[in-house]
């Protein structure tokens, strides 16, 4: 696990965007795994800038989103379909048919989830998965206790997550859908590269547990210690509970030139 600490979310987002851009340039048919929420927004803004100003081409890229609320259709302003159009897809040259987001209105959840896994496999698997982290350590919506072997399926959101996400639902946790479809931890771990972003002091404890704590289903993101290429891009406030923060900074400053992104 490589921990990269930047002063600001913008700096971290620029580093993350450079990693995505390099992949897309080297492999125009790249398959990206995408997240929603507040965290990836500066990264998405930077990707849009790279597309507009530097011609970064997404025309052959395929994407799979991590999750969607059950019961919200694609037109709902808080659906992740809406979020992705608003913040990314409407601003890139990615064909709509290349983008995949779980269907929150599917009449048959298990069949949909099996098919989502099949589509990821048919696309060749995910090259780079972008992740945020919940304050309870979830990735995707794999809440504490989720199986490390889990695949795409229905999950019930934890109360903490309902409270965290109430800011998008008039500050009313009761209005946040209680169920979602999410890629499983096994699905996420299959990605060839994983890039987790976290900003702000509210994520500090989860980041410390994920990076330096035991690997435990009680903090699902800790499984990323077992991922061969996981990178963790955080700002200084999110790094405050890390015991080895100085060492991670030292490692990054001393990276050989050929290893830099």
**Annotated catalytic residue within 46, 68, 103, 136:** 136
Q: Is residue 35 near ligand F6R by the rule CB under 6 A?
A: yes
Q: Is 136 a catalytic residue?
A: yes
Q: Is 57 a catalytic residue?
A: no
Q: Is residue 222 near ligand F6R by the rule CB under 6 A?
A: no
Q: Is residue 139 near ligand F6R by the rule CB under 6 A?
A: yes
Interface mask (CB under 6 A) for ligand F6R, residues 98-137, using x and -?
Answer: ----------------------------------xxx---
Q: Is residue 36 near ligand F6R by the rule CB under 6 A?
A: yes
Task: Categorise residue 125: left if φ over 0, alpha if ψ from -120 to 50, beta otherwise.
Answer: left
Instruction: Map the footprint of ligand F6R across residues 14-33, applying CB under 6 A.
Output: none
> Which neighbouring-strand residues pair with 234?
5, 198
Please identify which residue in 39, 129, 146, 152 interacts with ligand F6R, judged by CB under 6 A: 39
Rounded to the nearest 10°, the torsion over CA 94, 84, 43, 23 is: -30
Q: How far is the CB of 157 from ligand F6R (least distance, A)?
A: 9
Q: How far is the CB of 119 from ligand F6R (least distance, A)?
A: 18
Radius of gyration in angstroms for the set of CA atoms belonging to the chain, rounded to a whole number: 17
Please identify which residue in 33, 42, 102, 140 interacts with ligand F6R, judged by CB under 6 A: 140
3-state helix, strand, coil in the chain (%, to 5): 45, 15, 40
Q: Is 67 a catalytic residue?
A: yes
DSSP H/E element including 122: helix 109-122
Please identify which residue in 3, 24, 31, 66 interacts with ligand F6R, judged by CB under 6 A: 66
Q: Is residue 177 near ligand F6R by the rule CB under 6 A?
A: no
Tokens at 52, concatenated: 């507009």
- Asked whether 238 and 9 are in contact (CB, 8 A), the reply is no
The full DSSP string for 188-217 is: HHTSSEEEEEE-SGGGHHHHHHHHHS---T
- Under the rule (CB under 6 A), what is the footprint of ligand F6R? 35-39, 66-67, 132-134, 138-141
């Amino acid at each position: 696990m490589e921990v990269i600490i930047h002063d600001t979310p913008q700096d971290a987002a620029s580093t993350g965007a450079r990693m995505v851009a390099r992949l897309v340039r080297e492999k125009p048919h790249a398959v990206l795994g995408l997240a929603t929420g507040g965290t990836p927004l500066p990264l998405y803004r930077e990707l849009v800038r790279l597309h507009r100003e530097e011609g970064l081409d997404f025309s052959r890229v395929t994407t799979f989103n991590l999750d969607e609320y059950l019961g919200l259709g694609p037109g709902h302003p808080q659906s992740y379909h809406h979020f992705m159009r608003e913040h990314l897809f409407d601003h890139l040259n990615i064909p709509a048919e290349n983008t995949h987001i779980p269907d929150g209105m599917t009449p048959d959840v298990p069949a949909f989830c099996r098919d989502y896994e099949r589509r990821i496999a048919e696309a060749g698997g995910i090259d780079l998965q972008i992740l945020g982290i919940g304050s309870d350590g979830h990735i995707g919506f794999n809440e504490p206790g989720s199986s490390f072997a889990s695949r795409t399926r229905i999950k019930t959101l934890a109360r903490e997550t309902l409270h965290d996400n109430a800011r998008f639902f008039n500050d009313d946790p009761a209005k946040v859908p209680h169920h979602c479809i999410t890629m499983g931890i096994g699905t996420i771990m299959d990605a060839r590269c994983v890039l987790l972003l976290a900003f702000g002091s509210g994520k500090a404890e989860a980041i410390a547990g994920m990076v330096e704590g035991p690997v435990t289903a009680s903090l699902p993101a800790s499984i990323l210690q077992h991922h061969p290429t996981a990178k963790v891009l955080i700002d200084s406030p999110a790094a405050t509970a890390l015991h080895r923060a100085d060492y991670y900074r030292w490692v990054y400053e001393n990276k050989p030139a050929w290893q830099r992104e």
